[in-house]
Amino acid sequence: MSLFGFFNKRSTAPAARERLQVLLAHERATIGQSDLVAVLREEILAVIAKHVAIDRDKVKVKMERGDVVSTLEVDIELPDLAATKSFAAAH
């Protein structure tokens, strides 16, 4: 199953929502070594916020740290970009 399928799970909300999901996984060669995912988290959110208005209440962040693999899952419900003049004009 390509991950395309994973993201294709239609949101349960009746009207389609504008949604952005970000997944990061850092697989370390050396156990116990520092965590790239935690380092990148805020900067990636800042890059996204440069392009779309993000309502912090609509951002779900989940981080998991294993011995070898750390993951970051971010799920952002976005304002309808088509209706957002600034995004449409800028892109």
Where does this chain bind its own copies (CB under 8 A)? 3-4, 6-8, 11, 15-30, 33-34, 36, 39-40, 43-44, 47-48, 50-52, 64, 66, 68-69, 71, 73, 78, 80-82, 87-88, 91
Identify residue 42 by its one-letter amino acid code.
E
49 vs 55: CA distance, rounded Å: 9
Nearer to its own copies, 57 or 90 (CB): 90
Nearer to its own copies, 25 or 61 (CB): 25
